[in-house]
Structure 1
């Protein structure tokens, strides 16, 4: 609702509504690309800065730590200054982070990356809330549009970063710095939203409720959320290196990561619709775990010819797992407050778990000199996803 009590969800016809829709699209476009673009550039960064694989893996881990740190705090900030202003502030921080990250030097790289993680965590938390408040009758449509642009630009980040870095003297700094343009345009388009007054409590307020920490189901959902995030961000970071060891050049490896992420896009539309209509989500959860296991086992087998198939299967699994995580927040809770509490718990603890992945896998590769042990570890994690996913998929609610 706007300040006069009119619903934004009633129509898209006004200029103000279209600016908000475009703003949401652009903010969503910033929520994955600045992170997924790093994985394919790891070889460039590692060679230029003379760092180990474990240190390189921390480039992906830092944003995940930022997610874990700020996810439960972002709604409180929004309650004080408003959701629109909080998103605008996050875009300013994102611009600063991208600029700092593109300066040569390991310290600037890590500092900028941490700022980027803080900025993106705000969008992750608040944009769904803004959609719920501003478009109460078009939540599904707006969430679908938002997810598409988030994943498309995430895929583009993996696909175009290596070719850009190879152009002339552009380098990895220039390739990562290109995201500054999108962030700046997004901020300019978002600025008109700062004129809108809002009920700051709507859609974001939640009381502290630690009782879910004692819920076995809540922890299963949290482990499911964290495990699928760990696999996704670990592969975004290290899949290019894994494929290059199997004979792919950096550009071709980047496009395989693009293919994996492109496969996510249609799934994020289909799974929520199907999951909502089912009596329980056990079959979907089992399928998700099985696809992860199959795709990762295929990578472990090492056939370069079948890599596109494995990339697609992993992408479908990742898209399904992410969508199921979001659906569990609503299907396994009794009301909006409890859903928000579960979401905050799962994202905070889940991203903390996910942060371990890139560094641990990089360290295991440094120790063993190969990718067999790291991939075996990810397969074991996929088995855990299958187990806790099927448990989370059973009809029921977290106990408060």
Structure 2
């Protein structure tokens, strides 16, 4: 029987997760219109899609320190307020505010996305991996709503600025609910490593790098899709609305694998089969959407969604499965998401540079397939059944 406290926390987690993707996915269907109205070049548009991911990566390592100082619950409130402010700021008609607001939104997502896995580990430790799947499902749903509703909202509200700013209302509503019903603070800070175990100890562990690089490469794929998939589909002959809905269908399919991937991973001794399966689905989906005939777009959208939803869900699950306690989960989350998302930021910007240099969608598709091949190598090592523990007074890796 699930307690009232657990149900309330799960609902809060879902609401917060719902806010952490529309800031990025809502821009992609409108990117061509932004380029026309704001005079953005392909590289400038690439910078716009890169900024939230870059600042997400730069801010994520700060989350454990901020949570330690003011409490994870207050830190999450501050992140939601920063998110709402950034979404409002980026549509104001002043030079540079589009980029500043986008960077603020990315920073807020980095803080909230790093704090939540540690809170899940603290509040419901026995089912942390399965709840991470539910949290990922909320992320996917938010991303799908951002992609699918951007163009209809623009048509209904009259301009792209009103469409983009409408997502700040969701952030403000979630902030009010979070402040009202957030879990009680922990009796003492638990997100910092204990004395004698410096942060560099985590960086000396190959397991940290394996999880980080898997997170970074699969996230790069996701943010390339968030930032550029509609534009690439429009170049292939799709209408603006059809491209947005194709992306929305793909993201909606992520809901299925985001929730089911952690369950499937439990069927095996370790997570390697599940990790490799979702990466193969991602690769097939990209080929069908970007290189195969247009008739393959719906199977491609489904496979891409299943692959990316499962990849991200399992990547977040690794943060709790590879650590023995909340403290280490918070530290590993900060390092992995910080380094991983900073690496992932290169993806959208790189695609912008490639398009400006004259690359075709097929060129981009095969480059992404190569990156997925590299990601499979890191998945093979990160998926082994091991765990970081510090109970001995030193940070060590144990085979569970």
TM-score above 0.5: yes
1:80 aligns with 2:69: yes
**Contact 2:20–2:109, Cα closer than 8 Å, also in 1:** yes
Residue 290 of structure 1 corresponds to 280
Render the CA deviation track for 1:81-138: whole Å, top value 9, x for unaligned: 1122111111211121111012134511000011111111121012233333344566
State the shift of 1:166 in Å.
Answer: 3.0
> How far apart in 2 are the matches of 1:141 and 1:317?
17
CA gap of 1:358–1:140, structure 2 versus 1, over 3 A, is closer
> How far apart in 1 are the matches of 2:313 and 2:13?
19
State the shift of 1:139 in Å.
Answer: 4.4
Secondary structure at the residue paired with 1:41?
A: helix
Residue 172 of structure 2 corresponds to 184
**Contact 2:16–2:174, Cα closer than 8 Å, also in 1:** yes
Match of 2:193 among 187, 190, 206: 206
**Contact 2:232–2:290, Cα closer than 8 Å, also in 1:** no
> How far apart in 2 are the matches of 1:360 and 1:220?
23
> How far apart in 2 are the matches of 1:106 and 1:34?
19
1:278 aligns with 2:265: no
Match of 1:241 among 227, 231, 248: 231
Q: How many pairs does the alignment contain?
A: 387
**Is there any run of 5+ residues in structure 1 with no aligned partner, and where?**
1-8
Residue 154 of structure 1 corresponds to 143
Q: What TM-score do you get using the length of structure 1 for normalisation?
A: 0.89
1:227 aligns with 2:217: yes
Render the CA deviation track for 1:317-361: whole Å, top value 9, x for unaligned: 111211221233344445554444333222111101100111110
Secondary structure at the residue paired with 1:73?
A: helix
Render the CA deviation track for 1:254-273: whole Å, top value 9, x for unaligned: 01111111111111121112
Residue 344 of structure 1 corresponds to 334
Residue 393 of structure 2 corresponds to none
1:11 aligns with 2:3: yes
Render the CA deviation track for 1:294-317: whole Å, top value 9, x for unaligned: 222223324111111111111111
Residue 112 of structure 2 corresponds to 123
CA gap of 1:234–1:95, structure 2 versus 1, over 3 A, is same
**Contact 2:140–2:309, Cα closer than 8 Å, also in 1:** no
Q: What TM-score do you get using the length of structure 2 for normalisation?
A: 0.89
User: Following superposition, which runs of at least 4 residues in structure 1 exceed 6 angstroms of deviation?
Assistant: none
State the shift of 1:228 in Å.
Answer: 0.3
**Contact 2:56–2:106, Cα closer than 8 Å, also in 1:** yes
Match of 1:102 among 87, 91, 98: 91
Render the CA deviation track for 1:179-228: whole Å, top value 9, x for unaligned: 121112112212224794542424x3335321232333332221111000
Residue 392 of structure 2 corresponds to none
Secondary structure at the residue paired with 1:278?
A: coil
1:316 aligns with 2:303: no
> How far apart in 1 are the matches of 2:386 and 2:134?
30
Match of 1:23 among 12, 29, 52: 12
1:358 aligns with 2:340: no
Secondary structure at the residue paired with 1:167?
A: helix
State the shift of 1:36 in Å.
Answer: 1.0
> How far apart in 2 are the matches of 1:383 and 1:144?
24
Secondary structure at the residue paired with 2:138?
A: helix
